[in-house]
Amino acid sequence: IDYMDGYRCFTWDGKTFPKPDRLMKELRKMGYRVVVILDPGIKRDPGYSVYDNGLAGAHFCYDEKGEHYIGRVWPGETVFPDFTRPETREWWGSLYKGLLDDGVTGFWNDMNEPADFSFESATVPLSMRHDNDGEPCDHRAVHNVYGMQMARSTFEGVETLRSDERPFVLTRAGYSGVQRYAAVWTGDNLSSWEHLRMSIPMLLNMSVSGISFIGADIGGFRGDPTPELFTRWLQTGIFYPLCRTHTCGGMGKDGAEQDPTVYGKKHEKINRRAIELRYELLPYIYTQLRETERSGDPLLRPIWFDEPMMEKVHRRDYEFFFGKSLFVAPVVHEGAQKREFVAPPGEWYDFFSGRRLVGGEETSVPVDLKSIPMFARAGAIIPTREAVQFTDEAPLRELTLNVFAGSGAGTFYNDDGLSYGYRDNACVEENYRVTASDDKLTLEFVGREGDEQFAPKSYAIRVAGLERAPDVVTIGDRKLTEKKTPADFVKAKAAWRFDKSTRSLRVRSVDFGPGAIIEISFGAPGKSRRRKPAAGR
């Protein structure tokens, strides 16, 4: 809010930001997209254009006496737009033109319950009047939808002004249906282990209520987290559908700003790895969110969402599915040296080590500060990419298919990430299948549909959960060469390499594309492919 001129919405502080359009261009060249915050409270200030135009258009709420209701928020005396009135929603949406022209790309609706500092309740009086789409009422009838209607007004206004782009809107307040207009975050949390833990069931409950694009302030909004707390929160937060750190600034004597780099070299390295993992998982995340748009099934969901009959997981608040194929049990207790959890039924593999885990019972695994307990379902095919510093740094060229021993299927979806072109088939979807038998594992590129410009240019294959190296790897009728060292493998256009330490096989081939079949053979039937349990499991 400090970017504004005296907390006047839709303005810039001319001293601090004399040329905001130039600043936006410079930031965009560096890879940044700027999101600005806006509140519904409009400063009561004759001569301020938003206030004057709002008065002229009868866009502000009235009190029970028929006079404009005057509250108090950041700018002092404020009036509140009546977002339950269609004409007001259209007017408010039109106000975003100036910020869009300056180069702002997203909008963050805050304080939109609406907040009002005039009363102990911190919100407007229930007697405040609303149009309510032509059926006048007091605030009691519309309090829950006020924030959602602000988000709706923002979304529809930006969509009208930039019809070729999907709006990005973030809101604090909302109601059933807000998922059509905005992402939602959980509000001003505290930098505490309790609030880290609390964030998980809060987001899971929102997910199963239909609101899927959600997150909490990583690190806590108020307070100074310890290095361990910040690291653990970041390792958890990379699985929030909306992943972002946010803070009001340091509250302690040192005033620590919650940057991942300020907690010492050890934590900086671990924090960097967590952030890189989020970027690597983006193809999987985007594919799963496409499924959310189609079916409503959330990306982040409680175990009982997929396993409703498994009563022992009904009260496990700190474990969750991340899409269809990943199970995550983040470390959320201070000083933890082990993590106890109940994995879903079936076979699972540690995403990083390839160790096998049988679900259905309580399990304990050792953890250290670097640990992110994440497990892939047997037979899962999870698309990932190389780590980048920001989403636009480099286009997706090589897609890695992480295949976990077993039988199953996987999908990759991609589009331009910005426009509505996907509705006209400006997108691509690929499907893969893996089949396991006693002596063979077969990966098939089942097919590709859509626009090939959004398809990967090459593929890398990682097969995890193998207890020993295969005897033969082929693609079609071509036998691939084994390479013993990482350096030799990287140089090869078609080869394979087994890494015993991670129980994984890497395959490279320029021939992998629609219709291709990779066969990984382990000799005569009876030779173990993966059944030998991993040590410690």
Catalytic residue IDs: 110, 113, 188
Rounded to 10 degrees, the C-alpha dihedral 269/272/274/275 comes to: 180
For residues 339 and 333, the answer to whether their CB atoms sit within 8 Å is no
> Which helix (H) or strand (E) element contains residue 517?
strand 517-521
In this structure, are residues 85 and 130 in contact, taking their beta carbons and an 8 Å threshold? yes
Residue 87 CB neighbours (<10 A): 12
Alpha-carbon torsion (143, 189, 168, 12), positive or negative: positive
**Residue-wise burial string across 186-218, b where 16 or more C-beta atoms lie within 10 A, e elsewhere:** beebbbebebbbbbbebbbebbeeebbbbbbbb
User: Residue 218: helix, strand or coil by DSSP?
Assistant: strand
CA dist., res. 85 & res. 88, Å (int): 5
Q: Give the Å distances, CA to CA, from 351 to 281, 327, 360, 382, 401.
A: 12, 10, 18, 10, 12
Q: Is the peptide bond before 345 cis (omega within 30 degrees of 0)?
A: no
The DSSP string of 374-441 is EEEETT-EEEE----SSTTSS---EEEEEEESSSEEEEEEEE-SSSSGGGGT-EEEEEEEEEE-SSEE
Neighbouring C-alpha atoms within 13 Å toward the C-beta of 135: 2
Residue 139 sits at φ, ψ, to 5 deg, of: -65, -20
d(CA 354, CA 499): 10
Q: What is d(CA 385, CA 324) in angstroms, rounded to the nearest whole number?
A: 19
- In the block, tokens 């249906």 appear at 177
CA–CA gap between residue 147 and residue 373 (Å, rounded)? 37
Report how far Cα 441 is from the mean position of its chain's Cα atoms.
Answer: 33
Pairing state of beta strands 347-350 and 183-185?
Answer: unpaired
State the helix-helix crossing angle for 193-208 and 227-237, rounded to 10 degrees. Answer: 10
**What is the helix (H) or strand (E) element at residue 481, kind and residue range?**
strand 481-482
